[in-house]
Amino acid sequence: MSWLVALVLGLLGAGDVGGGVARCVVPEGPVVAEVTWRGQRVRAREGALELGDRRLTPCDGLPGPFPTALAVQGDVLVAGFRAAGAFRFDDGHFTRIEGLPADGVLALAATPEAVWIGLGTRGLWRAAGRRAEPVKHRVLGAQGITALAVEGDHVEVGVGPYGWWRVTGRRVERVARRVFAGCFRRGPAGAWAPRPPGAACALGAAAPASGLPSGHVTALAGFGGALYVGTFDAGLARQEGAGFAPVPGSPRFINALLPRADGLWIATPRGLFKLGLDGVVRRAPVALPSDHVNGLAAGADGTLWVATSQGLAGFGPAGVQVWDRARGLPGRIVYAVAVAEDGAVWAGTDAGAARIAAGSLTIYDHARGQLPHDWVNALLPEGDAMLAGTYDAGVHRLTPAGDGAPVPGMERLWVNPAGLARVGGRLVVSTLGDGLRIAEAGGVARRDDLPSDDVTAAARVGGRLWIGTRGGLVSVDGDALLAGDPGVH
C-alpha cells in the first residue's frame, strides 16, 4: 500500500489517526514546476512539494499551501509560493529569502551568483545571498514576471503581455514584443523558446491518489452517508473509500452546501443546483432575485431559504417569499441566512443583519449599537438568538429583543462566509488569517497545525471533524478537537 493511500485511509478512519492530530489530505492538482535536485525529481503542486518519494505539506512544515516555482542553485533547492514568498531549502530546513514584498512568486531561475525571482505584480528581483533586491527597470521592475530561464550568462524573462526580455549582466534588452511567455521550453535546436500559458506549459505529470480536485475548499456537508466537498473553482467531490471522486455534472464554483431529505442543495455564483437522490445534478427550476447564491438554510416547515446578491428568497408551503431592500432589508447583498428555534428567519447582509418573523422585520446594525461592523457574512442559531460573524469585527450574539453583544474572545476576528459551526456543543469559528478558533470554558483555542490559516469550512461528518482551508482539507477526531496542543489564549 502506497504512503499516500495509507495516509488517506488513516484520515478516513480506516486506521490509526494519531490520537486526533490533524493530517493534511493532499489535494489533486496539476504539477506546476519540476526540477532535479540531488539526483531526485522535485515537483511543486497545489498543496504539496514532492521530493522523490517524500511529500511535504503545510502540516509538515511547508511554508505555504501553494508552491508555484522551483529552481536549483548549486546544492540548494529554492521554492517560491503564491502568498508566502521564496525560500531556500537545505538540510531539511526552509530559510526565507528576505526583502521581498507581499506578492506571489510566479517564476524562479538560478545562476551560480544569484537567484532570480519573478513576482506577480511587483517585477523582477535578484537575491545574491539570503536577501533580495529589485531589478530597477521601467518594465522589468514594474510589471508581472510570468516566466524565467537561464541560458549561459543570459536570463530570459517573460513579462506577460509586455513581451520577452533578456538580462545580461547589467544590460536589459527586449527580445520580442508580441510574445506572452507563460513559460520557457527548449525548442528543436535546444535553445529556450517562449510558450503561451495553458496547455503548452503544462507538465502533464500524474496527479496524486486523493482525488480531491482542488485544495481550495469552500463548503463541506454530510449527505447519504458520505462527505461532500465543495471547491472554489473545481466543482464538487464525494468521499469514496480512501479518497475522493468528482461528482459528474456538478457546477464548477461552489459557495455553500445544504443537505436535505430531497437531495444536496448547491449554492453557486451561477445559480442554484441540487444533487438528487438519483445521483444526478440539476439546476433548480426556481426564479431567484439573483443567480449569485451565497448561502442556504432550511425552515422547520420545509421552506428552502436562499441568500442571493439581490435579496433573500424562500420557497415552501407559503409559496415564494422575497425580501429585498424594497421590503426593508438593510443591504442588497445577502451573504448568510439561518432559521432560529422560534422559526424566525435571519439574514446577514453587507449593511447589517435582519430578523424576519410574522411578516415583520427587525434590523441590527452598527448605527443602532448592536453590531461592531455592518458586514455580516455568517449566521448560527443559538436557541431563539443568533450568532453573527462579521469581517474584522468578530462574532456577536443578537437577540429577538433587539440586543447585541460580543462573544468573549472572538471580538476581532475576520469570520469567513458560513464560518460558524458547533462541534460537541462548542462554537467553532473559521477565520480569514486567524485559523480555526474554538470557544472553550477557559478561553478561546486555536489550531495551529492546519495547511492554511485561511479556514473556509468546518463540519462533523462520520464522527470526525473535517476542516476545509484555502490550502487543503484536514480531518481530526471530533472528540479530540484540541489534540496537538493548539494553545489556549
Judgement on whether residues 271 and 122 belong to the same structural domain of the protein = no
- CB contact set of 426 (below 8 Å; sequence gap of 6+): 438, 439, 440, 481
pLDDT confidence band for 208 (50 / 70 / 90): low
CA 91: distance to chain centroid? 30
- Given a cut of 70, whether residue 235 has pLDDT beyond it is yes
> Domain end: 135, 167, 201, which one?
201
172 lies in the same domain as 274:
no
**Does the pLDDT of residue 481 top 80, yes or no?**
no
Model confidence at 268, pLDDT cuts 50, 70, 90, reads very high
What is the radius of gyration, based on Cα positions, of the chain?
Answer: 25
Least confident of 149-163, 257-271, 397-411, 454-468: 454-468
| Whether residue 80 sits in one domain with residue 112 | yes
pLDDT digits 0-9 by tens, 270-301:
999 999 999 999 999 999 999 999 999 999 99
* Inside any domain, residue 3: no
- Supply the pLDDT for residue 23: 61
The total domain count for the chain is 2
Tell me whether residue 446 is in a domain: yes
CATH code for position 334: 2.130.10.10
Q: Are 178 and 293 contained in the same domain?
A: no
The reply to whether 390 falls in a domain is yes
In this model, does residue 399 exceed pLDDT 90?
A: yes
Q: What are phi and psi of 17, to 5 degrees?
A: -110, 20
DSSP letter at 98 equals B
Residue with cell 502540516: 59
> For 360-396, what is each residue's pLDDT tens digit?
999 999 999 999 999 999 999 999 999 999 988 999 9
Average pLDDT estimate for 298-312: 96
What is the predicted pLDDT for the residue at 241? 81
411 and 366 share a domain? yes
Going through 23-131 in order, the beta strands assigned E by DSSP cover 23-25, 31-37, 40-45, 48-51, 54-56, 67-73, 76-81, 85-90, 93-96, 105-110, 115-119, 124-127
At residue 68 the predicted structure's pLDDT band, cuts being 50, 70 and 90, is: very high
pLDDT classification of 221: cutoffs 50, 70, 90: very high
Please report which confidence band the pLDDT of residue 55 belongs to, taking 50, 70 and 90 as the band edges. Answer: confident
pLDDT band at 13 (very low <50, low <70, confident <90, very high): very low
Mean pLDDT, rounded, for 103-112: 95
Q: Each residue of 164-186: pLDDT tens digit?
A: 999 998 899 999 998 999 999 98
Are 268 and 406 members of one domain? yes
Q: Using the 8-state DSSP alphabet, how is residue 60 labeled?
A: G
Q: Say yes or no: 322 and 469 in one domain.
A: yes
pLDDT tier for residue 307 given thresholds of 50, 70 and 90: very high
304: which DSSP letter?
A: E
3-state class of 39 per DSSP?
A: coil
Same domain? 189 vs 271: no
Backbone angle region of 450, left / alpha / beta, with phi > 0 → left and psi within -120 to 50 → alpha: beta
- In this structure, is the dihedral angle defined by the CA atoms of residues 399, 346, 233 and 263, taken in order, positive or negative? positive
Which percentage of the chain shows pLDDT scores above 70?
Answer: 91
- What distance in Å separates the CA atoms of residue 397 and residue 403, rounded to the nearest whole number? 8
239 and 376 housed in the same domain: yes
The confidence score (pLDDT) of residue 251 equals 95
Task: Looking at the structure, tell me whether residues 236 and 187 fall in a common domain.
Answer: no
Domain boundary among 169, 201, 233: 201
In a domain, 4, yes or no: no
Question: Looking at the structure, do residues 187 and 225 belong to the same domain, yes or no?
Answer: no
pLDDT for 426-458, tens place per residue?
899 999 988 999 988 778 888 877 888 899 999
Task: Assess if residue 433 is contained within a domain.
Answer: yes
pLDDT top residue among 231 and 213: 231
Q: 212 lies in a domain?
A: no
Say yes or no: 137 and 276 in one domain.
no
pLDDT-above-90 percentage for the chain: 66
Of 38, 117, 45, 114, give the one whose Cα is nearest residue 76: 38
Tell me the average pLDDT of the chain: 88
Domain with 148, as residue range(s), is 30-201
What is the structure's pLDDT at 482? 44
